[in-house]
Structure 1
């Protein structure tokens, strides 16, 4: 499983112009079973993505994010093993 903090590199006005395309990209990642959760940071300086897939698949998807294509965000990928999960999240537990 991966935690992916992203940080905006451009003013929010530029992020807002890319937002609709970014949301469509997020939806496709969820539809393909790659993303588990995502959302903006508070304050709005970037976002967080939780993903479960092979690393090469994640890297390819991140590169296709409209934010990445526009050079509007940096991504920091951290892999971890989810040894314990809350009730209802058993499918994400890793041996």
Structure 2
């Protein structure tokens, strides 16, 4: 499991220009069961994606498709972790 921490490096008006494409990117990886949840940071300085992937290489390949990455809108910090305690509903993501 991976936490993808996006930090905007461009103004919000640039973020907004690519938001529709970014949402399509998110939808693709929700449909593939890679993304578990995502959302904006508060204050709006970036976003967080919880990603279910087999390894760092797969996460990097996924991120490289993000329009925010392609258009240098955000920097990405990736943290790998192993869920050891979770709700019953989350179990599907760790088995």
How far apart are the structure 2 equivalents of 1:5 and 1:68? 12
Count of residue pairs the alignment pairs up: 94
How far apart are the structure 1 equivalents of 2:15 and 2:6? 12
Equivalences for residues 1-95 of structure 1 within 5 A: 1-54=1-54, 55-93=56-94
> Could you list the runs of 5+ residues in structure 2 that have no partner in the other structure?
none
Q: Superposition RMSD on alpha carbons, in Å?
A: 1.1
How far apart are the structure 2 equivalents of 1:32 and 1:91? 14
Write the deviation string for residues 10-69 of structure 1: whole angstroms up to 9, x where unpaired: 000000000000000000011111111101001110000000112222111101100000
Three-state SS of the structure 1 residue aligned to 2:18 is helix
> Could you list the runs of 5+ residues in structure 1 that have no partner in the other structure?
none
Runs of 4+ in 1 over 3 A off after TM superposition: none
Q: TM-score, normalised by structure 1?
A: 0.93
How far apart are the structure 2 equivalents of 1:92 and 1:21? 26
How far apart are the structure 2 equivalents of 1:68 and 1:93? 27
